[in-house]
Chain A
Amino acid sequence: MVHIKRLQEDGADIIAIIGEIDASSSIELDLAIAKSVGEGFRKILVDCSALEYISSAGLGVFMSYIEEFKDKNVTMVLFGMKEKVMNTFTILGLADLLHIRSDRHEAKQLANELSV
């Protein structure tokens, strides 16, 4: 079960993921990101502070956007991850591929730097 909230702040779209992301709920995450991109946001921040668990399918969603973001010059920064969730990212070798920061402030800063 997952609940996804979106809110806009200083021109950035903040997607908050609350709950667990498994194979079925990863579709919701995919939709949320696709919507954000479709609405033309260039800075997307993903709030993972309430993310309890993410399965490989959920990670696949993030990965699937990497190239599209590169083409469209969109910056995505994940932040606030719990250690366990972070571990999943690290094991799969995604920590180096994605921009991950510890809190919102840092994430915003990074997004601003990168999108210049």
Chain B
Amino acid sequence: MRTKALIRLTFLSAVICWLVLVFSDVTVLFSRDKGLDPGVPLWLPRVMLDLYIVCLFYYYKFRIERDEGLNFTDLLWKVFATGLISTVLSLSIRLILGILGSTTLSSNILFQDVLYQINFALFLSFLLAAFSSWKRLILYQKSKWLIRLWTIFEVALLVILLSNILQIPMTDEMNVILMVLFGILTIILSANMKWVAYLNFRQKWTSILILLLTLFYIGYFFWSVVWNLPAELNNRAGMFLSYKDHFFNLCLYFFVITYSVFSFLVILFNLPTSSVFEQKLEEVVNFRISQSIQTEQNEESVYKILLESSVSSVFADAAWLEIRGSNNEARFFTYQISEEESRNIAFHLKSNNVKGVLDQNTDKTKNLSKHLAGLKGTRFRSLLSFPILVKGDIIGTLALLKELPEGFNKEMTRIVSAFANQAGISIENFRLMEEAFQNERYKEELKIAKTVQKSLLPDKLEKDPTFEMAAFSQSADEVGGDYYDTIRIDDHQVALIIADVSGKGTTAAFHMSQMKGIFHSLAQQDLDPKEFMQRANRALVYCLERGSFISATYFAIDTQSKKIRYARAGHCPVLFYRANTQQAEYLKDRGTALGMIKTKDYCNYIDTNVISYAPGDIMVLYTDGITEAKDQKGEEYGDDRLKDTLLRVTSKDPKEIAEFLISQLYEYSGTHMINDDYTTMIVKFT
């Protein structure tokens, strides 16, 4: 507000000064013409002219120099616009005069004077506008010594202006020396063209055009004000107001034209390399962004960095970032705006059917400032919105707000777009890394479980002169809980166990190790199989988690009495082949799996069974992975196929039988990629 008031004040002062200048000048001229006493001091027009210059100088200082929102082309446009208005005004006056033809009025010296004053004022106004703009361009990326140099330059101009007011007499030599010094200063200052590098190709063309027109205006005014000055007027007015020799005016003129020509040439010669430069600039910007974002630890901080860096790089007044999570719940990160207000704006745009912003269904970036005007109760007049893309999916929206209307330009859009893209990539990286990490952990866990499971299975089985044993076990990628083991109870008894722990992975391996402990501690005590199962159940009931259990069959082979006592706790019934009848059968005795019945009632659900054996008999212990193996059509291998397979190889030794059974199984399933555990133990009596 203060700036606006100052702008108005300075403009008003300039107008007043100019009016006083014109009246006093006309008065002086008129009275001098008629040989009268002018009634106003002779110095008044001169001082008023300088005051007019000072006022205009401050007017443009506030309008152009202090306006942070202007970029380079905006500055050039301002100069161009001022020049255009001045030239059009000046030309129209000239046109009117031309139409009027040579009348007494047009030859009247007073009338000529007024016209001349108008032209002169317009020219000065244009020069000062250019001066302010050039100042900003020169001081872009300023250094200390540059500021000092500029201060010297401005002070020198002020001194010239003052000397003009005070009419300090100067010799020609002094004038020449001053001129040369001033010229050197101007040329040094004019070498500051850093801003040109930041223009893109199109902006360079625009700038060249504007500069050409600016040079044309300068030429026109030079012709109309300095060159074409009516000789009569010059002669008469020279006494109190020297136009041609207005030293300040000349300096200003020299400065403006020098910088315009320099800029024009520099931009022109920069044109061929601009695309390369643009590319490099973009690379640098992207690199800086990625540096700042990639060092962050998690998604949350990426969002925050994105918000902060986009706000600071485009000078937004407020911003919000809306992120949609996997559960479709929106999260808001805001800056200088409440979540409610952001929702209001989003809702407003949605209800006005504004497509392409904030609805997260589009990949287009749009500047939708005009739609904001319709929303009451918001201080914002500009809105810029970007989607945040991860793997082509929009996961969120970034919205930047400004209180100024049309507050965003193309460069800002490009920068923020780069930020948003980089943030998307970073988030994608985070997600991939997280995934890989989880995967790796899972694999590691499986590896451990597999190692544990392997180490739980016996390296060698017990040996006995009256029977031979062989076992085979292979687990799928996902570790199962198949367990078998043997232990010698005494010189004529051997204990066997086969078990299947429900569940998979580390828990299964863990329960397996519990089963192993139970087997090794209980089997040595020469327990009745039923007693063994009861104790095992009691031990396991409180170890197993809810819903999991262990199926097992425990055998105690007595080689003296040639009898097998066994108890089946929910495990697959053993396949028993009798050599004398050449028949095989499943021993489907009742029995419930371990860990299912938590009370002492378990004794009612388990039995000890006894069978006797003869040489040549074969016992096949297996887990359900074998009978439940499926072929391509999804049909299970089943009990009957297993039995038939066994009958084909009864004469072989246990190792060969086991190998044959497994090879048949692979052939049946048609693949070596098993999806369950295959475990079998063959016992053949001799």
- A56 and B551 contacting across the interface, CB-CB below 8 Å: yes
B546-562 CB mask vs A (1 if < 8 Å, else 0) is: 11110100000000000
Q: Which residues of A contact B549 (CB under 8 A)?
A: 56, 59-60, 63, 92
- A91 and B573 contacting across the interface, CB-CB below 8 Å: yes
Q: Quick check: is A30 within 8 A (CB to CB) of the other chain?
A: yes
- A64 and B597 contacting across the interface, CB-CB below 8 Å: no
Return A27 CB to nearest CB of chain B, in Å: 10
Bound state CA distance, A5 and B653, in angstroms? Answer: 52
Return A73 CB to nearest CB of chain B, in Å: 17
- Which residue of chain B has its CB nearest to the CB of A70? B599
**Segment at the interface with B among A42-50, A74-82, A93-101, A105-113:** A93-101
Bound state CA distance, A66 and B598, in angstroms? Answer: 10
- Which residue of chain A has its CB nearest to the CB of B549? A60
- Which residue of chain A has its CB nearest to the CB of B550? A56
- B569 and A93 contacting across the interface, CB-CB below 8 Å: yes
Q: Quick check: is A37 within 8 A (CB to CB) of the other chain?
A: no
Q: Quick check: is B590 within 8 A (CB to CB) of the other chain?
A: yes
Bound state CA distance, A66 and B601, in angstroms? Answer: 13
Of the candidates A66, A67, A91, which one forms a contact with B570 in the assembled complex, judged by CB atoms under 8 Å apart?
A91
Max chain A C-beta neighbours (<10 A), residue from B546, B548, B571: B546
Return B263 CB to nearest CB of chain A, in Å: 72
Q: Quick check: is B322 within 8 A (CB to CB) of the other chain?
A: no
Q: Which residues of A contact B596 (CB under 8 A)?
A: 63, 66, 92-94, 97
Q: Which residues of A contact B592 (CB under 8 A)?
A: 92-94, 96-97
Q: Quick check: is B270 within 8 A (CB to CB) of the other chain?
A: no
Q: Quick check: is B535 within 8 A (CB to CB) of the other chain?
A: no
- B502 and A56 contacting across the interface, CB-CB below 8 Å: yes
Max chain B C-beta neighbours (<10 A), residue from A23, A26, A60, A64: A60
Given known contacts A60-B547, A91-B573, A93-B605, A67 and B598 CB-to-CB distance under 8 angstroms:
yes
Q: Quick check: is A18 within 8 A (CB to CB) of the other chain?
A: no
Bound state CA distance, A23 and B598, in angstroms? Answer: 22
Q: Which residues of A contact B605 (CB under 8 A)?
A: 93, 96-97
Interface set, chain A 6-41, CB cutoff 8 A to B:
23, 26, 30
- A56 and B569 contacting across the interface, CB-CB below 8 Å: no
Bound state CA distance, A5 and B571, in angstroms? Answer: 31
- B593 and A93 contacting across the interface, CB-CB below 8 Å: yes
Of the candidates B500, B547, B570, B588, which one forms a contact with A61 in the assembled complex, judged by CB atoms under 8 Å apart?
B547
Bound state CA distance, A97 and B597, in angstroms? Answer: 9
- A57 and B547 contacting across the interface, CB-CB below 8 Å: yes
- A30 and B547 contacting across the interface, CB-CB below 8 Å: yes
Given known contacts A56-B500, A57-B502, A63 and B547 CB-to-CB distance under 8 angstroms:
yes
B578-622 CB mask vs A (1 if < 8 Å, else 0) is: 000000000010111100111000000110000000000000000
- Which residue of chain B has its CB nearest to the CB of A88? B624
- A92 and B546 contacting across the interface, CB-CB below 8 Å: no
Q: Quick check: is B38 within 8 A (CB to CB) of the other chain?
A: no
- Which residue of chain B has its CB nearest to the CB of A61? B547
Q: Which residues of B contact A67 (CB under 8 A)?
A: 598
- B590 and A96 contacting across the interface, CB-CB below 8 Å: yes
- Which residue of chain A has its CB nearest to the CB of B586? A91
Bound state CA distance, A66 and B549, in angstroms? Answer: 14
Return A104 CB to nearest CB of chain B, in Å: 26
Bound state CA distance, A1 and B333, in angstroms? Answer: 41
Q: Which residues of B contact A61 (CB under 8 A)?
A: 547
Q: Quick check: is B183 within 8 A (CB to CB) of the other chain?
A: no
Q: Quick check: is B17 within 8 A (CB to CB) of the other chain?
A: no
Q: Quick check: is B348 within 8 A (CB to CB) of the other chain?
A: no
Residues of chain A at interface, number, CB under 8 A: 20
Q: Quick check: is B210 within 8 A (CB to CB) of the other chain?
A: no
Bound state CA distance, A66 and B551, in angstroms? Answer: 18
Q: Quick check: is B14 within 8 A (CB to CB) of the other chain?
A: no
Return B173 CB to nearest CB of chain A, in Å: 101
Q: Which residues of B contact A92 (CB under 8 A)?
A: 549, 551, 570, 592-593, 596
Bound state CA distance, A59 and B571, in angstroms? Answer: 13
Return A7 CB to nearest CB of chain B, in Å: 25
- A91 and B572 contacting across the interface, CB-CB below 8 Å: yes
- Which residue of chain B has its CB nearest to the CB of A84? B636
Max chain A C-beta neighbours (<10 A), residue from B570, B598, B624: B570
- Which residue of chain A has its CB nearest to the CB of B593? A92
Bound state CA distance, A35 and B504, in angstroms? Answer: 26
Return A55 CB to nearest CB of chain B, in Å: 8
Bound state CA distance, A96 and B588, in angstroms? Answer: 14
B537-552 CB mask vs A (1 if < 8 Å, else 0) is: 0000000001111010
- Which residue of chain A has its CB nearest to the CB of B478? A23
- B504 and A23 contacting across the interface, CB-CB below 8 Å: yes
Bound state CA distance, A61 and B573, in angstroms? Answer: 23
- Which residue of chain B has its CB nearest to the CB of A52? B634
Bound state CA distance, A66 and B548, in angstroms? Answer: 13
Interface set, chain B 638-653, CB cutoff 8 A to A:
none
Q: Which residues of B contact A94 (CB under 8 A)?
A: 570, 592-593, 596
Return B342 CB to nearest CB of chain A, in Å: 38
- Which residue of chain A has its CB nearest to the CB of B505? A23
Return A72 CB to nearest CB of chain B, in Å: 16
Interface set, chain B 482-505, CB cutoff 8 A to A:
500, 502-504
Return B627 CB to nearest CB of chain A, in Å: 10
- Which residue of chain A has its CB nearest to the CB of B606? A93
Return A102 CB to nearest CB of chain B, in Å: 20
Max chain B C-beta neighbours (<10 A), residue from A92, A93, A94: A93
Of the candidates A56, A64, A96, which one forms a contact with B546 in the assembled complex, judged by CB atoms under 8 Å apart?
A64
Return A89 CB to nearest CB of chain B, in Å: 10
Bound state CA distance, A97 and B636, in angstroms? Answer: 26
Return A32 CB to nearest CB of chain B, in Å: 14
Bound state CA distance, A97 and B546, in angstroms? Answer: 16
Return A80 CB to nearest CB of chain B, in Å: 20
- Which residue of chain B has its CB nearest to the CB of A57? B502
B12-46 CB mask vs A (1 if < 8 Å, else 0) is: 00000000000000000000000000000000000
Return A60 CB to nearest CB of chain B, in Å: 4
- Which residue of chain B has its CB nearest to the CB of A30? B547
Return A100 CB to nearest CB of chain B, in Å: 14
Bound state CA distance, A96 and B601, in angstroms? Answer: 12
Bound state CA distance, A29 and B597, in angstroms? Answer: 20
- Which residue of chain A has its CB nearest to the CB of B630? A53
- B570 and A93 contacting across the interface, CB-CB below 8 Å: yes
Bound state CA distance, A96 and B596, in angstroms? Answer: 12
Q: Which residues of A contact B570 (CB under 8 A)?
A: 91-94
Give 6 nearest A-B pairs by CB, closest first: A93-B592, A60-B547, A92-B570, A56-B502, A64-B547, A93-B570
New A-B pairs, 18, CB < 8 Å, besides A59-B502, A92-B596, A94-B596: A23-B503, A26-B547, A57-B548, A63-B549, A64-B547, A66-B596, A84-B636, A91-B588, A92-B570, A93-B569, A93-B590, A93-B591, A93-B592, A94-B592, A94-B593, A96-B590, A96-B592, A97-B605
28 pairs, A vs B, C-beta closer than 8 Å: A23-B504, A56-B502, A56-B503, A56-B549, A56-B551, A56-B624, A57-B503, A57-B547, A59-B549, A60-B502, A63-B549, A64-B547, A84-B636, A91-B551, A91-B571, A91-B572, A91-B573, A92-B549, A92-B551, A93-B570, A93-B591, A93-B593, A93-B605, A94-B570, A94-B592, A94-B596, A96-B605, A97-B597
- Residues of A participating in the B interface, judged by any CB pair closer than 8 Å: 23, 26, 30, 56-57, 59-61, 63-64, 66-67, 84, 90-94, 96-97
